[in-house]
Structure 1
Amino acid sequence: MKASLFYLPSIGSRAEIEAGMAGMNPHFYQRMLKELTEQIKLGDELGYDSVSFTEHHFHIEGFELSNNPVLLDLYFAMQTKRIRVGQLGIVLPASNPIRVAEDIAMLDHMTGGRANAGFARGYQRRWVDVMAQQTHGIHGALPNQHDEIDNANRLAFEENFRIVKKCWTEEMLTFDGKFWKVPAGPTPWTLDTTQKWGKGVDNGILTAVGVVPKPLQKPHPPLFQPFASSENTVRFCAQEGITPILPPMLPVYEEKLYSVYSEVSGKPKGQGVGVLRDVIICDTDEEAKALWRDSGQFSGRAWFEPFGFRRGMMDPKTGKSPTSDEVIEMGYAYVGTVDTVLRAMETQQKRQPVDWVFCYTYNALVPHPILMKSIETFWTKVMPRFR
């Protein structure tokens, strides 16, 4: 099993966020960069496989100030030696896929081949509707809500994804899709330089473009998708060689997803799949749970539950969700002492072995010194059992 650090970088404690408009405070942002630098350098020295950031915009509330994950990747890669850097993920329906392909290829070269590539569909309408209006007119699609908005979002995601892969793997790019056409139409290009030393022109008309640079890693950086919770998404991941990262879900939901990925990919169940887990390790269970209440549970209630992310933890017959203690006992959160977290991980791996665990860090919501100790303890006291 590989362990990765995952950041939806918050820039304030619970009290600072509840005071209002924390995202506007430049001093909080500077503090966040300083603390993340120390945490990621520690992860690099310890041996964590990678670190990843999400993409979100307009987060004035102080949660998830991660509007450019590739730029964050490069910032932290320049301060580390071996840890891989990636995105969970770039929201493709709101992006220009050629620019995405260029940016990640540049990141791959600038990091010496340490780039991962992660793509998401986008669920927050506040920013997806604004950012996608000039490209596709696509809206944010809520998890577990299958309607026309969801279908249009998925079509744009899949088309953009295929363009990104073509940019990386084909010398010259042409494409004729619903949202993109390359070339865009009859485009005159009579430059002698292209005729002598390039490609993609016929009788003075552009016929193809070459997207450069190509990634350093061949055929391209490893691919990931957060946070897969539908059969359609998992099937797409299996078909395209993407590692899906599953959020906490009861067996009645997750078992089907593991089975679909295995059937389509031809791999044993759980192989090529990762899970997202809250990770907070302290000297006592009580201390860890108290920190969890002001971090994972606080942000969950304030930010994620309204978008439907807790539905996977609701029993379809009773509508009830497990208690906090039951969530830990069932291996859906790694919160507590080393022994408690070991038992939780063993329960998870016994129920369904997976290749990856992405450790949700809750920076700023968990005080920096405690989080540093938790990151080190998880790697040195827990992961040796599973590596």
Structure 2
Amino acid sequence: MKFHVFMLPTIGEPQDLRRGMAGQNPEHYQRMLRQVSDIVRLADEMGYEGIGFTEHHFHIEGFECSTNPVLWNLFTAMQTKRVRVGQLGIVLPASNPIRVAEDLAMLDQMSGGRAYAGFARGYQARAVNTLAQHIHVGATRSDKSQMDAINREAFEEALDIIKLAWTRETFSYDGKFWKIPVETPWDFPATRKWGRGLGPDGRLTEIGIVPRPLQKPHPPIYFPFAFSMTTVRHGARVGGVPVLLSGDVDFCKDLFTVYQEEAARAGRSLRWGESVALGGFLSVAHDAGKAEAFAQSYRWAHEEWFTPFGFPKGLELIGDPDTISRGLETLQNALRFEEFFIWLNQGLSPHEQVLENLELFATKVMPRFR
């Protein structure tokens, strides 16, 4: 099994956040940078497969300080040698898909082919409603409303554009939200001699991004954190890996079955559990009481930040290495998944405990699943 690390990241411990406006505190931000540096270097040394960051904006409260996950990825890649770097995930309805395709292609080139791409629809209205106003798209909670449908259309269209940009030298796209290229006179001598995408009348007919990804056909694609059948079906059709934050085996089985069946209809023959990932919060210690104490700051943050958005706590792996291993083994025997994303308690707990948590899992749990 491959194990990934997922960080929000968070700018401080509960006492820091309670003081207010923690996200704008420069000293806290510098401390967070140092913490993330320690974590990514250790994860690289200990054999973790990848490190991912979320995307959220305007987090003056300090819970999720990742305005640009691609910059976090580059920050990580420049300090590591082998670990993969990715986003969990970029909010496509609030993004320019051409810029996303370019940024991720650059990341893939600069990291030596270590990038993966994670794409999300966006549920935090403060950010999505502000950043996606130009295409009249808002945040969604998969409630099958009109805005939910528009958000999904924008998401799927953006992903189509990104994949075209990655896989073709030049391309065009005529969609509901994006026209690529727009009608533009470009009778440029160098383009006629050495480029492509000009019509006989000197107008643009296609464009191409620079660079294209190092990985072929493109970096692996993930859909964090999937809860709806519609998202899982879409992932199966386009070859994306849904990441489920759930310990409900029956619920996961239903989604796994839908994914496998939809993938088969799209011409992808997958075994049970292939191309679907699981994730959850981790707190491991030699002493079960210490592991439980370590989890309290995560639970506080979840109650204060994620519960009001309607998110359940999801899968929690808390205990000593044997307890954690038994829990993972039970899940893997039932679901046969190949990748697991660890929600790390960075920032919310004392830093040395976070590093101990990461190292103990790598030395006492991971070897049992390889």
Question: How does 1:99-178 map onto structure 2 within 5 Å?
Answer: 99-134=99-134, 136-142=135-141, 144-178=142-176
| Equivalence for 1:327 | none
| Equivalence for 2:330 | 347
| Equivalence for 1:200 | 197
The reply on whether 1:308 has 2:304 as its aligned counterpart is: no
Report the CA distance between 1:302 and its aligned residue. 1.1
| Equivalence for 1:66 | 66
Q: How many angstroms apart in 2 are the aligned matches of 1:307 and 1:291? A: 24
Choose from 356, 363, 368 the match for 1:373. Answer: 356
The reply on whether 1:247 has 2:230 as its aligned counterpart is: no
Question: How does 1:203-218 map onto structure 2 within 5 Å?
Answer: 203-218=201-216
Paired residues of 1:291 and 1:366 also in contact (CA < 8 A): yes
Question: How does 1:220-235 map onto structure 2 within 5 Å?
Answer: 220-235=218-233
| Equivalence for 1:16 | 16
Q: How many angstroms apart in 2 are the aligned matches of 1:239 and 1:308? A: 28
Q: How many angstroms apart in 1 are the aligned matches of 2:54 and 2:246? A: 18
Paired residues of 1:122 and 1:128 also in contact (CA < 8 A): yes
SS in 2 for 1:276: strand
Paired residues of 1:261 and 1:269 also in contact (CA < 8 A): no
Report the CA distance between 1:139 and its aligned residue. 0.4
Q: How many angstroms apart in 2 are the aligned matches of 1:192 and 1:304? A: 55
| Equivalence for 1:316 | none
Q: Which blocks of at least 5 consecutive residues in structure 1 are unaligned?
A: 314-331
Paired residues of 1:21 and 1:62 also in contact (CA < 8 A): yes
The reply on whether 1:276 has 2:279 as its aligned counterpart is: yes
Q: Which blocks of at least 5 consecutive residues in structure 2 are unaligned?
A: 264-268
Number of equivalences: 364
Amino acid at match of 1:368: H
Q: How many angstroms apart in 2 are the aligned matches of 1:269 and 1:298? A: 36
Q: How many angstroms apart in 1 are the aligned matches of 2:349 and 2:369? A: 25
Give CA deviations for 1:221-252 in whole Å, capped at 9, x if unaligned.
11111001110000111111111100115234
Q: How many angstroms apart in 1 are the aligned matches of 2:247 and 2:238? A: 23
Q: How many angstroms apart in 2 are the aligned matches of 1:190 and 1:353? A: 55
Paired residues of 2:93 and 2:121 also in contact (CA < 8 A): yes
Report the CA distance between 1:267 and its aligned residue. 1.4
Structure 1 ranges of 4+ moved more than 4 A: none
Report the CA distance between 1:253 and its aligned residue. 2.4
Paired residues of 1:188 and 1:204 also in contact (CA < 8 A): yes
The reply on whether 1:385 has 2:368 as its aligned counterpart is: yes
Report the CA distance between 1:301 and its aligned residue. 1.0
Q: How many angstroms apart in 1 are the aligned matches of 2:47 and 2:249? A: 31
SS in 2 for 1:205: coil
SS in 1 for 2:73: helix
Choose from 287, 291, 309 the match for 2:294. Answer: 291
Q: How many angstroms apart in 2 are the aligned matches of 1:264 and 1:46? A: 36
Paired residues of 1:105 and 1:216 also in contact (CA < 8 A): yes
Report the CA distance between 1:194 and its aligned residue. 1.0
Q: How many angstroms apart in 1 are the aligned matches of 2:121 and 2:171? A: 23
Deviates more, 1:241-250 or 1:82-91: 241-250
Deviates more, 1:122-131 or 1:346-355: 346-355
| Equivalence for 2:266 | none
Deviates more, 1:302-311 or 1:62-71: 302-311
Q: How many angstroms apart in 2 are the aligned matches of 1:8 and 1:162? A: 27
Give CA deviations for 1:82-116 in whole Å, capped at 9, x if unaligned.
11100011100000000000000000111111111
Paired residues of 1:333 and 1:344 also in contact (CA < 8 A): no
Q: How many angstroms apart in 2 are the aligned matches of 1:162 and 1:131? A: 20
Report the CA distance between 1:164 and its aligned residue. 0.1
| Equivalence for 1:45 | 45
Deviates more, 1:29-38 or 1:259-268: 259-268
Paired residues of 2:244 and 2:277 also in contact (CA < 8 A): yes
Identity of aligned residues (%): 48
Amino acid at match of 2:222: F
Q: 1:34 to 1:44 in 2, by over 3 A?
A: same
